[in-house]
């Protein structure tokens, strides 16, 4: 054989070993590094949303802009809870069984809210989202086709116009509207002050408000700590709050009243979650 053959063989063996190490490195990092694990799961979440929006948009476009297209998006997002090992419990869903229109107000923690929301969202319900989402390629197109309502948070006049138009639309088309009144994601121990748009909408349309509280994700998800594991999330749907007979003058008090109710429930859920976690901890043997 050629004198170069042993050297070539060793070079190939080293290259093969390096290749195997490169293949194994992501697996090892995924198992050993919580931060790498977090970024992998978040990236997969975003890719899943983008891919399903791209695939479903042509089918939704056949029907045109229509609230019924929301069913397609929900069906595409629901499998994620199984892939991530997240169990979702819903309490009080019977409060959503109304034939009339209503406004859902819900606390907003992270992008995972999308995965939780599709578990509960009633028929003929559309979320209100920031206008920037509309320009996110096929995701924005899919959201628009599903009848989502977009608000420009930087231009108060435009937002007021959208609320007025939406108040007329939900009565005429018997729609439900899902709004995050905090206005932005919040993973703090309490809720941010509520913006009044959702409450102006409910009062102007004279429809009930239904508060929805999602339990904290702290046990299994935190963007600050770069943590994303499996876990359990609880959704509590609270009894409706009537707005019939209320006027715009009542909106500030209504906003604060609903927020206080939701904060109390969120605090209770947080306490119960900490208590449940302490019960699950193994007991140490006595000396």
The CATH code of the domain that includes 184 is: 3.40.1130
pLDDT at 29 (0 to 100): 59
pLDDT at 19 (0 to 100): 61
Strands (E), 200-277: 209-214, 221-222, 227-228, 231-237
- Residues 223, 52: Cα–Cα separation, whole Å: 24
pLDDT at 20 (0 to 100): 60
pLDDT at 91 (0 to 100): 96
pLDDT at 164 (0 to 100): 82
Note whether 129 and 143 are within 8 A (CB). yes
Q: Higher confidence at residue 249 or residue 26?
A: 249
Residue count (the chain): 287
pLDDT at 26 (0 to 100): 59
Note whether 124 and 98 are within 8 A (CB). no
Percentage of the chain beyond pLDDT 90 is: 61
The answer to whether residue 190 sits within a structural domain is yes
pLDDT at position 212 over 50: yes
The answer to whether residue 274 sits within a structural domain is yes
The answer to whether residue 25 sits within a structural domain is no
Angle between helices 34-63 and 137-145 (to 10 degrees): 50
The answer to whether residue 28 sits within a structural domain is no
Q: Higher confidence at residue 51 or residue 162?
A: 51
């Amino acid at each position: 054989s050629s004198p170069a053959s042993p050297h070539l063989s060793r070079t190939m063996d080293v290259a093969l070993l390096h290749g195997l190490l490169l293949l194994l490195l992501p697996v090892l990092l995924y198992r050993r590094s919580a931060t790498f694990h977090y970024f992998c799961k978040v990236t997969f979440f975003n890719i899943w949303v983008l891919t399903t929006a791209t695939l479903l948009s042509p089918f939704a476009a056949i029907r045109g802009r229509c609230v019924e297209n929301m069913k397609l998006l929900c069906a595409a997002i629901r499998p994620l809870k199984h892939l991530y090992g997240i169990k979702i419990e819903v309490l009080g869903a019977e409060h959503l069984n109304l034939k009339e229109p209503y406004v859902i107000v819900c606390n907003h923690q992270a992008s995972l809210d999308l995965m939780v929301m599709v578990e509960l969202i009633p028929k003929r319900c559309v979320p209100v989202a920031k206008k920037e989402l509309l320009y996110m390629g096929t995701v924005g197109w899919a959201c628009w086709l599903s009848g989502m309502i977009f608000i420009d948070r930087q231009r108060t006049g435009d937002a007021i116009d959208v609320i007025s138009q939406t108040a007329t639309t939900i009565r005429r088309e018997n729609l439900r509207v899902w709004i995050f009144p905090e206005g932005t994601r919040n993973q703090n121990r309490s809720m941010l002050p509520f913006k009044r748009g959702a409450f102006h909408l409910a009062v102007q349309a004279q429809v009930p408000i239904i508060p929805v509280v999602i339990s904290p994700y702290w046990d299994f998800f935190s963007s600050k700590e770069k943590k994303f594991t499996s876990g359990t999330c609880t959704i509590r749907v609270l009894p409706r709050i009537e707005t019939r007979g209320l006027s715009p003058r009542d909106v500030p008090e209504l906003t604060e009243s609903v927020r206080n109710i939701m904060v109390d429930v969120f605090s209770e859920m947080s306490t119960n979650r900490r208590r449940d976690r302490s019960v699950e901890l193994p007991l140490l043997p006595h000396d």
